[in-house]
Structure 1
């Protein structure tokens, strides 16, 4: 698991109630393909959103935490 997802996985294993918003991560769609698949395997509820919708969800839907992963 990646380091950003590791934090989410750890919280889930501790019994924290989570619902993860996953950016599609264009142009390669790593979020829509890989991250969402990993969350599905862990049984963590999630929703895939357009990259450009992040600000909307943070403002309108009470996002409590934002984790950002980065490649080298």
Structure 2
């Protein structure tokens, strides 16, 4: 092989190594975000259940889910 071909191959290998590193880094970010989203979803569900229970136990009030919207 001539020097030009070897230089091109080396450049391609460096680019591939860089792209592999970027892909691995992005994979880690996506995995962490997926875990964060799952945790936040569970917390929102818990808060919604808690709010619904509080409304159900409030005396003399109609649960928000059973009330008509103000534009009716």
Normalised TM-score (structure 1): 0.23
Larger Rg: 2
Decide which structure has greater helix share: 2
Choose between structure 1 and 2: higher strand proportion: 1
Select the structure with the greater relative contact order (CA < 8 A; seq sep ≥ 6).
1
